[in-house]
Amino acid sequence: ALFTGVFGILSIYEERKQWTLQRMLVSPTNGDTILLGKLLGNLVVVIAQLLVLMAALTVVASIVLGEPTLIWGHQIGLLLLVVVILSLAVSGVGVLIVGVARTPEQVQIVGPIVNMMLGVLGGAFGFPLPDPLPRLSLITWATAAFEKLAGGQSTIGINLLVLAAQGVLFFLIGAWFFRRRMRMG
């Protein structure tokens, strides 16, 4: 999902190359709204990707266990909320990287590096890092929320708050860089 979050926003460079972006920017629509539209479109794709992945993992777990199993827990509403807010955070990372990078090639280099760093910080590669480093990664907060829900707990408010804050912060910083670059030419 992290790679989708980054590369889904990448189309803004193609729009710039074909002068579609410039036409949108001279319309009454401001740059933040354009980026927000990109974010929302990307958000839908990331949500769909996560839901398909979760469904596939549920099917695999059910086959392995020999019976239908909800490995994600029974609190479907909270589970969907985590997926939506995680998708917001992931898409925010995409806006940040695209906002900072000057070319699609830079995004293709920086995006995977940032994603791998978030994965390492979040413990996705099997070895935990000492506190407080993992708390910097959205993977840490999302994984903890999924684990709590799978264990029957519903105390994921702080996880959701941190993920939402990261998503909004990444979007705002990326939008600032985007506006700055559009003013400079």
Domain ranges of the chain: 2-184
Give the burial string for 64-74 (b: 16+ CB within 10 Å, else e): eeeeeeeebbe
Spatial distance between the Cα atoms of 181 and 55, rounded to a whole number of angstroms = 40
Span 77-94, pLDDT tens digits: 999 999 999 999 999 998
At residue 184 the predicted structure's pLDDT band, cuts being 50, 70 and 90, is low
Span 100-155, pLDDT tens digits: 988 889 988 999 999 999 999 988 888 888 888 889 999 999 999 999 999 999 99
